[in-house]
Structure formats: structure tokens, C-alpha cells
Amino acid sequence: MLRLEGEAFCLSDELRENGHMSTFTIDSATSRATPTPQPGKRLTVPAIRARKIDGTAAEPIVMLTAYTMRMAQLLDPHCDMLLVGDSLGQVIYGLPSTVPVTLEMMCAHGAAVVRGSWQALVAVDMPFGSYEASPAAAFAAAARVMKETGCAAVKLEGGEAMAETIAFLTSRGIPVIGHVGLTPQAVNVLGGYGARGRDTAEAEKILRDARAVADAGAFTIVVEGVVEQIATDVAKAVAPPVIGIGASADCDGQVLVTEDMLGLFERTPRFVKRYDDLATRIGEAAATYAGEVRARTFPTPDQTYRPKGA
Ligand code: KIV
């Protein structure tokens, strides 16, 4: 039995008497009901922004992508921010790019990641087509993402062209992470996923984009797939923390797609460091299981039920 207590649902008095109440509450905003230790206060947007003072982030910001409740639970203790990236289009749904990703997908996965985390700041990507048309359209879509997921911020791609929208959102209570350099939602304009900023004009444009996004009020900026020196210049040029991916060690933090860094894919971009080889390990586990099923050596008595007393 659950009942409403103030803003939160709490377990019933019987459970309180049984001693379970201290560690098990359900957050009515997020429906998160994991029996983890009492949730602490999450890292906030001002706390992340304040990591960079006078152009330097003394402690680099750690960000990874997460799309599911269980992965969020595993990553949360190690990360400052969890990003529900629209890269889930390729990673989870096998889509050819992030272009077909919908608001519904982002809301469903965003809510799962909020439910599975308790200390990291969770940010959700705005999918292609949900924010570009106008600041008002962006506000409606971003407000829906925040209401349905319980996330603390949204991320959207684009530089100077998105500055007005970022200012509109931030001045109306929606914290925004900018995303400049290689912007995968623009793959059809860019013609591929190659590194950006290899010529002077493009390098200058990326710097202008980052400045515009920062001036518009983004509290953090992701810089993706750019020539190393450009990322270093961007990190020096703007006040908010700059999180790099395929960028530079001089950035104020780093982000990777979790499945890439765990080695779940055979092919990964050059900038990914594999910290494990889960594809091989999963394949080996599945092969062992398949062999045991075919040999009838699984299940054993350890995995089967017996009548009471037998
Ligand atoms: O969609 C995503 O996962 C991202 C990161 C790669 C930054 O935008």
C-alpha cells in the first residue's frame, strides 16, 4: 500500500514499523523506486557550472551516456553527468543515424535513466526536428522532456543558429547544454561524420558557435569531433565547462558513448578508448550457455526446484 505524503509517496505505516521506511521511498516526480540507500541530493546545474572558475576546471567533469535503468545504476556512482544521448538511435534501435529518433524515445529512455540514478545530473538530448523550427517549439518539446523524465537539463545541437533558442529556454527555466563541432543530426548537410575544423574558416566558425552558445546561457558545451587545437581554443574561449568527445584532453570534462568504451561494438571511432571487450565476453558467455543447453548439462540440480522437504 502506498500513500501520498507531502510531495512524495511513502510506504505504509506497516512497512514503516517493519523498519523498511528509512531506505525506501518513491519519488513522485520521477517514479523512481529502487531500494537503494536514501537518495542524496543530485549534482545540480549550478554545481556543474561552478566546476569551471576563471577558465579552469580544477576537477574534470565525467560524463557517460546511459539509455537504460540498469546501466544508469551501474554508471551513476562514477559520473557527474549521465547523458541520455540520441545516439540511442544507433546503439539501441539499430537506426542508420540519429535523424529518425523521436521525442517519445527520448522521454521513455530519459525516465528510465532518472529512475536508475540518484546522484548524477541527468541530461536528455532533444531529438532532430523537435527544437529547430522556433524557440516556442523548442520550449514545448523541452518542457515535455523535463516533465516526463525528471531530468535536470536538455542538450541540443547547433551554434549561432541556436543561440536565440538557447536564450529562450534558459530564461524560462530550462537548463541547456550546447553541442558544437561535429553535430551528428546534421549528417545530411555535413555529408558524413568526419572531424570538423580542418580548415581555418571552419575552425573560426566552431569558435564563433561556441561563443554564441555560451553567451546565450548554455551551462555546459559539448564539443564533438574537432581538430584538437580547436577544442583547446574553445575551452579557453568560453566561460562554461566544455566537455570533449573526439576533442582534446584540455577540455573541462569528457564524454563517451558507454557501449563504445565498453567494447560492445567491433568498430568504434578513432577517439574511443575501449576500457573492456564486452562483445567478446558476451559472445563467449552465450556460446558456453548454448553448448550446455545442447548437451543437457544446464540446468543442474542447483538451478531447479524441489518439493518442500526433499
Ligand atoms: O548522442 C550522444 O550520445 C551525444 C554524445 C556523443 C555527446 O550527443
Tens of pLDDT along the chain (310 residues) come to 333 333 333 333 433 344 333 334 555 555 555 544 445 579 999 999 999 999 999 999 999 999 999 999 999 999 999 999 999 999 999 999 999 999 999 999 999 999 999 999 999 999 999 999 999 999 999 999 999 999 999 999 999 999 999 999 999 999 999 999 999 999 999 999 999 999 999 999 999 999 999 999 999 999 999 999 999 999 999 999 999 999 999 999 999 999 999 999 988 999 999 999 999 999 999 999 999 999 999 999 999 999 998 7
Tell which one of 222, 223, 251, 261 to mutate to probe ligand 1, the residue whose CB is within 8 A of the most ligand atoms.
222
Let me know: does 245 contact 256? Beta carbons within 8 Å.
yes
User: Which residue is catalytic, options 132, 157, 202, 224?
Assistant: 224
Ligand 1 atom, smallest distance to 87 CA: 1
| Minimal-distance CA residue to ligand 1 atom 5 | 85
Let me know: does 151 contact 176? Beta carbons within 8 Å.
no
Show the cell assigned to 109. 529512455
For residue 222 and ligand 1, the question of a CB distance below 6 A is answered with yes
Gap from CA of 39 to ligand 1 centroid (Å): 26
User: What confidence score (pLDDT) does residue 13 get?
Assistant: 40
Query: In the annotation, is 224 catalytic?
Result: yes
**Closest to 86 (Cα-Cα) out of 186, 214, 173:** 186
Distance, in Å, from the CA atom of 175 to the CA atom of 155, rounded to the nearest integer, reads 9
| Minimal-distance CA residue to ligand 1 atom 3 | 85
Tell which one of 125, 154, 264, 268 to mutate to probe ligand 1, the residue whose CB is within 8 A of the most ligand atoms.
125
- Residues 55-74 as b/e (b if ≥16 CB within 10 A, e otherwise) read eebeebbbbbbbbbbebbbe
For residue 86 and ligand 1, the question of a CB distance below 6 A is answered with yes
Let me know: does 19 contact 37? Beta carbons within 8 Å.
no
Q: Which is it for strands 56-57 and 52-53: parallel, antiparallel or unpaired?
A: antiparallel
Strands in 2-5's sheet, in edge-to-edge order, are 2-5, 8-11, 25-26
Burial class (CB in 10 A: 0-12, 13-18, 19+), 53: exposed
Distance, in Å, from the CA atom of 165 to the CA atom of 101, rounded to the nearest integer, reads 20
Gap from CA of 23 to ligand 1 centroid (Å): 33
Residue pointed to by grid coordinates 529556454: 169
Neighbour tally for 33: CB within 10 Å: 14
CA-angle at 103, arms to 97 and 104, nearest 5°: 105
For residue 220 and ligand 1, the question of a CB distance below 6 A is answered with no
Distance, in Å, from the CA atom of 307 to the CA atom of 262, rounded to the nearest integer, reads 42
Distance, in Å, from the CA atom of 301 to the CA atom of 82, rounded to the nearest integer, reads 41
Distance, in Å, from the CA atom of 121 to the CA atom of 134, rounded to the nearest integer, reads 27
